[in-house]
Each structure stands twice: as structure tokens, then as C-alpha cells.
Amino acid sequence: MVYNYLRSVYMNYSEIPFEVKLLLDVNQVLTNENQLQLDQLDIEIQEIEMIDILFLDSPDLTLYQNDWIIRGRLKPNKDKWELTFKYRIKLSQSEEPAIALEQALQAAASSGFDLSDPNCELELEWSEEQKTLSLSYEVNIPIASPDKSEAWRDLIMQHAPQPLRLKEWERMDFPELVNQLNVLGPIRAQKNKGNWHGLKTSVESWYITNGTIVEISLKAKGGEDAREKREQMKQQLKDKKLMTGQSFSKTQWALSRLIRPTQNPFSLLQTGGYNLYFRHAEPENTSSENASLSETGLEQARKIGRLFVDRHIPIQIPVRSSPINRAKETAQNAFGEEQVQLDERLIQPELPQLLESTPEVGKNQVFIAHRFTSDNPLTEKLDYMNMVLIKPLGAGSGYRLEQVYDLLAESIVRYDHL
């Protein structure tokens, strides 16, 4: 049986290597010169590496959307790039961890991975909310022109692992996909390795034009070791008030900015003149229209409210909310019950007319509703508490969709002053 086969060829949950990673608030842990504030983190730095990182993907991120990452890294004093092919499978959160891992390994085997191949490195990545099985192949290659997409395409054709070559890509074969790949980057990264309260940790900063992000991580062996070290790390961060509670992929953050450079959303919002369309926070369930917010959802809403105050974002009162309970609770917990007005138009065909209305001078209108379903479809996913930035053009003139933002995530990013 596949179940027994997988257990025999590879380690189980108590043995598999882990990387535990949590995002830090750049504004708290880096100086203005982008150096670690050692007094804040209280970390003993033993080694600092400066690394160049780039990615290969299509303009619409076909690889990433299909859970593949192709990455090049050049470390100090090296003349060869590390070319990594990585496939990622999210573990089910509704199963026991050991069972969820077995299911992910089965899915990997079904996708063509030979789990006994010593060239295939397996690791569980554990972020704030999600465990993900990572399967990686790495080769070291010399490359004369790392900024040239053509050079990387040739190397990818030479070194791509079988599961990537054999995957069925919509409307094209693998060579056709490779011809669409472009160099994205490079990103300059600084990796600080050291001892942090008895834990061997790394603090890695990624620098992109108009954006910096920081992540702390550690290695562990097996689920119990990972759980204990993770709890210790989270407690230390909590004691120093450095816990962000944010969970998003550092790679996805970088790719989205490399594909589409973004402005500091808080600078835009502080000028006023926008309509801010939020999807409600996370509900307890999605089966009932009267569902209340979950504990996570309540915290999301409260954080948004505090963020508007802390970042001095001017808003027009009242805040308008859909009358459906999960939207109403989001608005009231974020901005206060007395500041909220329920508006049936947010669940009616009149939504476009509402969104083209202009706010008071120097202010923004806030709307709390549901998935964005107007005549202008979004290419980005609108997750809970995500915001669509809308530039209204006035009654009868429509509006312009600017961008989708996760403001809670953006709050832990540092933007350069351009």
C-alpha cells in the first residue's frame, strides 16, 4: 500500500526536518540604516551573509500559482549560483499532523516525486498558521549573465526535475512554459545567524525597491522538537512585544512587488480621496448568513481600527457596512458601533453607483462588505480583511480599481522614502 511504502522510504512526522519561521515588524527590529536593533532582539550574531536572490517565473506567475518556485541564490565568495526547484504542498489543518504529512507525501508521490531520491530534500515549513511540505532539488551552476533570462532558461531545461517536466500545464508544454520565464530580481538579502535565548536562529531581511521585510527562523528535527522551539521563540517575541501575528509568504510578497511595484499604501491613504472597499473579517463559519466573527476575525477587525488611528488615516463618517452580520460586526469592532451605518446597497446591484461617489475633501470613504463582485473583476484574490483601493471618478463617471492590499500585512513592511 502507498501508506506503508511512504513510511518505509522516508521519515515520519517525528523525524522530518522542520524550518519554523515567523515574520517580524521591520519598523521595530531594524534601524534606519536597515541594521538589526540588537537591543530589541537581544541576539548574539555569529555570522552575517549578504545574498543575491532572484526568481524565474512568467508574467502571470504561472509557476508560483501552481506551487512551484525556481530560485537562484549567490552567496558570498562563491562563483556558482544555487539553482533551486521547489514544490510546496500545504498540509491539511483539519487532520492530525502525522496524518496530514502522510497525505502530503502521498500527493507528492502521485505528482511524480521519488521520495527515496537523495537529491530530493524534504522539509516541513511552519509559519504562523500553516505547515507546508517542501520538496527541493538544488544544483550549483556557473552563469556568466545572471541578469539574462535566456541563460537561465537554458539551465532550467537542462536541470529541471522530472515532476516539473511532466506536469501538465494548461494550453502549453514544459518547453513553451520555460520560454515565458523571466528573471525577477535580484533581491538583496542579509542573513544574520546567531544564538537567541539558547536557540540557533537566523534573522533574514529582504530588500526590494520601496520595500523591506524581515523573518526570523530556526531549524528543528521532528514535530515535537519543532513545537517546543516554536513555542519558546513565540514566547520570547511576545515578551518583547515583537509578535506580529501576520502570516504570508515572503516569496509571494517579493514576487508580487517584482511583477508590479507598489506604492506605500499608507502614504496614499493619508492624502484622502479614495474609496476603501474591505471584505469582512474571518467568520466562525461560511454556511450561515448570520454567522458571527471568529476570534481571529474579531482580532483582525480590531487591528484594522487601531491601524487607521496609528497611521493617521482620515476617514469619512459614517463607515458604511453591509447589513449581513459578519460585515456589520467587522465594521463595528473596527470603527465603533456609533460610527457605522448599514447600507443595503452594498449587497444590491447599486454597488457600482455607490463606489463611484467621491468622499469629502481630504478623507476616504470606508465600505465593509463581501467578495468584490462588481463589473470590474479583480485578478488578485480578496481574502478576509483585504482592501480594494478605489479611485472614484464621480457620479455617472465610474471608478478605477487601483490595487488590492492586505493592510495588516503591509503594516510590518518598511517602505523607502522615494
Q: Note the pLDDT tens digit of each residue in 152-182.
A: 999 999 999 999 999 988 888 999 999 999 9
Q: Are residues 131 and 237 in the same domain?
A: yes
Q: Are residues 364 and 215 in the same domain?
A: no
Nearest Cα to Cα of residue 319 among 309, 306, 304, 334: 334
Nearest Cα to Cα of residue 176 among 148, 153, 158, 159: 153
Q: Note the pLDDT tens digit of each residue in 49-86.
A: 999 999 999 998 999 999 999 999 998 888 899 999 99
**Domain assignment of residue 415, yes or no:** no
Distance CA 43, CA 218 (A): 13
**Domain assignment of residue 151, yes or no:** yes
Q: What is the mean pLDDT of the chain?
A: 90
Q: Does 147 score more than 90 pLDDT? A: no
8 Å CB contact between 290 and 92: no
**Domain assignment of residue 417, yes or no:** no
Q: Note the pLDDT tens digit of each residue in 210-221.
A: 789 999 999 999
Least confident window among 155-159, 174-178, 246-250, 374-378: 374-378
How confident is the model at residue 222, as a pLDDT? 94
Q: Does 266 score more than 90 pLDDT? A: yes
What is the percent of the chain where pLDDT is above 70? 95
**211-221 and 365-369 beta bridge pairing:** unpaired
Q: Are residues 103 and 194 in the same domain?
A: yes
Contacts of 180 (CB under 8 A, 6+ apart): 58, 59, 62
Q: Are residues 249 and 271 in the same domain?
A: no
Q: Note the pLDDT tens digit of each residue in 276-296.
A: 999 999 999 888 888 999 999
Q: Note the pLDDT tens digit of each residue in 325-371.
A: 999 999 999 999 999 999 998 987 778 889 999 999 999 999 999 88
How confident is the model at residue 276, as a pLDDT? 97
8 Å CB contact between 133 and 104: yes
Q: Are residues 215 and 294 in the same domain?
A: no
Q: Which residue do the cell numbers 521563540 mark?
A: 233
202: Cα separation from own chain's centroid: 19
HSE, CB side, 13 Å, CA atoms: give it for residue 283: 18
Higher pLDDT, 264 or 261: 264
Element (H, E) at 19: strand 17-24
Least confident window among 45-59, 70-84, 126-140, 247-261: 247-261
Q: Are residues 254 and 385 in the same domain?
A: no
Q: Note the pLDDT tens digit of each residue in 379-393.
A: 567 889 999 999 999
**Domain assignment of residue 368, yes or no:** yes
Instruction: Calculate the alpha carbon distances from 323 to 26, 31, 108, 348, 367 in Å.
Output: 37, 44, 44, 11, 11
Q: Note the pLDDT tens digit of each residue in 90-114.
A: 999 889 999 999 999 999 999 999 9
Q: Does 376 score more than 60 pLDDT? A: no
Q: Please tell me whether residue 126 adopts helix, strand or coil conformation.
A: strand
What is the percent of the chain where pLDDT is above 90? 66
Among 203, 229, 259, the domain-final residue is: 259
Q: Does 374 score more than 60 pLDDT? A: no
Q: How many domains does the chain have?
A: 2
How confident is the model at residue 411, as a pLDDT? 92
Among 195, 228, 259, the domain-final residue is: 259
Average the pLDDT over 224-250 and give the result.
Answer: 89
Among 259, 281, 302, the domain-final residue is: 259
How confident is the model at residue 418, as a pLDDT? 39
Average the pLDDT over 315-330 and give the result.
Answer: 96
Q: Are residues 247 and 289 in the same domain?
A: no
- Whichever domain contains 111, its CATH number is 2.40.320.10
Q: Are residues 246 and 273 in the same domain?
A: no
**Domain assignment of residue 418, yes or no:** no
**Domain assignment of residue 336, yes or no:** yes
Domain that holds residue 335: 265-410
**Domain assignment of residue 72, yes or no:** yes
Average the pLDDT over 124-135 and give the result.
Answer: 93
pTM: 0.84
pLDDT band at 297 (very low <50, low <70, confident <90, very high): very high
Q: Note the pLDDT tens digit of each residue in 5-37.
A: 444 445 689 999 999 999 999 988 988 888 888
Q: Are residues 82 and 141 in the same domain?
A: yes
All three cell numbers of 32, joined, read: 534606519
Distance CA 313, CA 382 (A): 21
- Whichever domain contains 312, its CATH number is 3.40.50.1240
8 Å CB contact between 395 and 275: no
How confident is the model at residue 62, as a pLDDT? 94
